[in-house]
Chain A
Amino acid sequence: MTPVYLDNNATTRVADEVLEAMLPYFTEFYGNPSSMHTFGGQVASQIQKARQQVASLLGAASSDEILFTSCGTESDAAAVHAALRAFPERKHLITSTVEHPAIKALFEKLGKEGFRITTIPVDDRGRLNMDLLEKSLDEDTAIVSMMWANNETGTLFPVEAIGKLCREKGILFHTDAVQAVGKIPMDLKTMPIDLLSLSGHKLHAPKGVGALYIRKGTPFTPFIVGGHQEHGRRAGTENVASIIGLGRACLLAEEKMAEENTRVRAMRDRLEKELLSRIPKCFVNGDLDARLPNTCSISFEYIEGEAILLMMNQYGICASSGSACTSGSLEPSHVLRAMGVPHTAAHGTIRFSLSIYNTEAEMDAVIEKLPPIVKRLREMSPFWSEA
C-alpha cells in the first residue's frame, strides 16, 4: 500500500534532487574537507556552496552567518548556551508555553539549575501575549527564545515584533524556525533576529543535519569543542554529504516556495473545509490568520487520537496526534493545553501536515475515509450519546 503521507511536520522524504546531489560524496568525493590535499580540499568548497544556499533561503547577509549542526535540537542548545556564556551575570530566560521539547526541556533544565524562567502564555488561538512579553523583558534577561512556527498548529509568532522588543532592550533573540524554514519566505538581513535554528529533514534533506544562523556580531562560543571545523564554532568532522544535501534542499525550497504557498495551501484549505463540513463537532486549532500553509490541526470531540490514527493507518494514511496515548505521556499535548483546548477535544486532535509531494487525490482519500472512522469511534464512545 502506498502511504498517503500527511506527517511532514514530523519528517519529510528526501527529494530526488537532494539525494542525487549527495551520492557522489559517499564513494567518489569522500575526502576530509580539512585535509591539505586537493582530493579533500575540493569538498570544502562544496560545503561552502551549501552554506551559501542556506544563507540564500534565509535571506542572510552573509554565508558566514550559517553554522552547520547535527539537528534542530543541537542548534537550539548551542544558541541558548552561547547566550548564557555571553552574559554570565544575567540569570533570566524567556520563552513561550508552546515551544518544541528541544527548547521546553532545555529551559526546564536551566530552571532547575537556578535560572529564572518566564514562559509567556498564548491565547485560545495560540497567539503570543505580547504585552506580557514586553513587561517581562528586564536587565537580567540573557535571551528570549520563541518559535517562528508551531509544529502542532502551524501558528506563526510575530518574530519581527518580538525581535524588535528584544533589540530595544539589548537582549538576544533566538527563534526555533525548524517548521518555518522552507515553508514561508524570510529575509533575515532585514529582521531583528540574532539566532535561528533549522533542521534538514523538515525540508526534504536527510535526518541528522541542521544549521544555526548567527547574525554577524552576535556573541558566540562553541557548544562542541575539538577541531577547528566551522571556523572554530562547531568541532567535529563535517557530515559532508548531508550538508551538501541540506544546501540542495534549500535551493529546492526557494524554487518551490511559491508552490508551497499556493498549491499546497489550497490543498490544505480544501482538506480542512471538507472535513469540517462532513464531520460534526470538530474544529481547527491555531491562528487561522497567521499559519503555515501546510499544517492543519483539527480536534474531533469525544474520541481519542491514537484510535483515529490507527484506523487511518489501515488505509495507509499517515498523520499525527496531540493525544496523550501516542506519546507515552498521559496528558494531551502541552501546546493544546496552553491554548486552553478542552479535554473533550484535546485528546482527539489530529495534525495533518502536507508537502509539495502531496496530491489532490490524496486529500480525496482522507476526505472519504476519515468521516466514517470518526463516526465509528464516536458510536463506541460513552460520551457521544450524551453530547
Chain B
Amino acid sequence: MWDYTDKVREHFLNPRNVGEVENPDGIGEVGSIACGDALKLTFRLGDDKKIAEAKFKTFGCASAIASSSALTEMIIGKTLEEAENISNENIAEFLGGLPKEKIHCSVMGQEALEKAIAYYRGEPEKVLEGEIVCHCFNVTDVDIQRAVKEKGLKTLEDVTGYLKAGGGCGNCHEEISNIIKASQGISIMEPKKPAAGLTNLQKIRKIEETLEIEIKPALMRDGGNIELVDVDGNRVLVRLQGACATCSRSRITLKDHVEARLRTLVAHDLVVEEA
C-alpha cells in the first residue's frame, strides 16, 4: 500500500472544487485514459484579475485526485502571474509530500495549470519538441533532457516517477539512460546511421532483419506479433497479429515506433502501412 500522507488521503476522500467552471476563462487538459491519468482544469477570473473560481475533473489514482484538489485550492485568489509560479514541487509540498512513484501526479497538475493559463492568454498550444523516446507515454528526448537538467533527476527511476517515461513496455530504458548520461556529460555512442544506397533486395532484407530483431521481441512480450507482407517502393506493408491485432494502441505503435525504427535503421523515407 502507498504511504500517502494524511493530507493526501483527506484531499482524496473530500476533494475540493470538483467539476467544471461555467464559461471558463482558462481550460487546461492533460493526460489520457490510456496513460492512466488525466486532468481537466478550468478557472474563471474575477474583476480583480485574480482567479475567482477553479474546478477540476480527474481520472486517476488517489494522489492524482488529491493533487488536482490541492491545485485548485492553491490557485484560487491568486493572479495568473502568481499562479504560474506554482511548481509541481509546491503541489507535493502542499500535500505533505508524495511517494516518488507518484510525483507525476503533481507534474500533471502543474502542466494543466500552464495549459489553462496559455489558453486564457491565447498562446498557441505547445507542439511536441524533439523526438519521441517513450512511445507508451509520448515523452520526447527534449522533455527528458529538460527534466533531468531542471529537476536534477539522476536515474531512470527518477525520470519514470517524474515524466512516466519508461514506465510502460520498457523498450526505451536504454535510450533514457543514455539521455541522462549525456546530460551529465558522459559521452555515448552515436546512433546507427541509415544505410545509404541500398538495392531493393538489400532494403527488404534489412527491413525483415529489423522487424525480427528490433520489433518482434517487444511485441511478442505483450502477446502480439507483426508480419511483413510486402515492400512496395518506400511503402512497408505489415500485418499485426495476436494481441496487437485487437489493440487500438497498436495503430500508434505501428506509426510511431515501427516506422521510426525502420527510418533510423533502414531508410529515412519509409512509410509503414497496415496491409
CB of B223 within 8 A of CB of A122, answer: yes
> Closest approach, in angstroms, between the C-beta of B62 and any C-beta of chain A?
5
The answer, among A323, A332, A383, for a CB contact under 8 Å with B38, is A383
Q: Is the CB of A340 within 8 A of B246?
A: yes
A304–B167 Cα gap in the complex (Å)?
A: 17
Q: Taking A97-B223, A331-B136, A331-B168 as contacts, is the C-beta distance between A310 and B15 under 8 angstroms? A: no
Bound form: Cα–Cα A382–B18 in Å: 10
Please name all residues of chain A whose beta carbon is closer than 8 Å to the beta carbon of B128 when the two chains form the complex: none
Tell me if A304 and B221 are in contact (CB < 8 A).
Answer: no
Q: Are the C-beta atoms of B221 and A119 separated by less than 8 Å?
A: yes
Q: Using Cβ atoms and an 8 Å threshold, which residues of chain B touch A304?
A: 36-37, 59-61, 64
Interface residues on B, range: 35 or more
Quick check: is A51 within 8 A (CB to CB) of the other chain? no
A328–B15 CA distance with the chains assembled, in angstroms: 23
- Taking a contact as CB atoms closer than 8 A, the residue among B37, B62, B168, B242 that contacts A121 in the complex is B242
A379 neighbours in B (Cβ, 8 Å): 18
The answer to whether A121 and B224 have CB atoms under 8 Å apart is yes
Say which residue of A119, A311, A324, A381 sits within 8 Å of B59 (CB atoms). A381
A331 and B58 form a contact (CB under 8 A): no
For B132-167 the 0/1 string (1 means CB < 8 A from A) is 000011000000000000000000000010001001
CB of A32 to closest CB in B, whole Å: 38
> A92: CB under 8 A from chain B?
no
In chain B, positions 62-111 with a C-beta closer than 8 Å to chain A are 62, 64-65, 101-102
A344 at the interface (CB under 8 A from B): yes
CB within 8 Å of B: which A335-362 residues: 337-338, 340, 342-344, 347
> How many A residues touch the partner, as a band?
35 or more
* Nearest-Cβ distance from residue A99 to partner chain B, whole angstroms: 11
The closest CB in chain B to the CB of A324 belongs to B36
Query: Is B57 an interface position by the 8 A CB rule?
Result: yes
Q: Which chain B residue shows the least CB distance to A331?
A: B168
Residue A279 lies at the interface, judged by CB distance under 8 Å to chain B: no
Query: A303–B33 Cα gap in the complex (Å)?
Result: 9
Q: How far is the CB of A251 from chain B (nearest CB, A)?
A: 34
- Determine whether the beta carbon of A330 is less than 8 Å from that of B168: yes
Which A residues have a C-beta under 8 Å from some C-beta of B? Answer: 97, 108, 119, 121-122, 124, 302-307, 310-311, 314, 323-326, 328-332, 334, 337-338, 340, 342-344, 347, 379-383, 385
8 additional A-B residue pairs with CB within 8 Å, beyond A304-B64, A343-B248: A108-B221, A119-B220, A121-B242, A303-B59, A307-B60, A338-B243, A382-B39, A383-B33
Q: Could you list 29 A-B pairs, sorted by A, with CB under 8 Å?
A: A97-B222, A119-B223, A304-B36, A304-B37, A306-B61, A307-B12, A310-B12, A311-B13, A314-B13, A323-B61, A324-B36, A325-B61, A325-B64, A330-B35, A330-B137, A334-B222, A337-B247, A338-B243, A342-B248, A343-B36, A347-B33, A379-B18, A380-B15, A380-B18, A380-B57, A382-B29, A382-B58, A383-B38, A385-B57
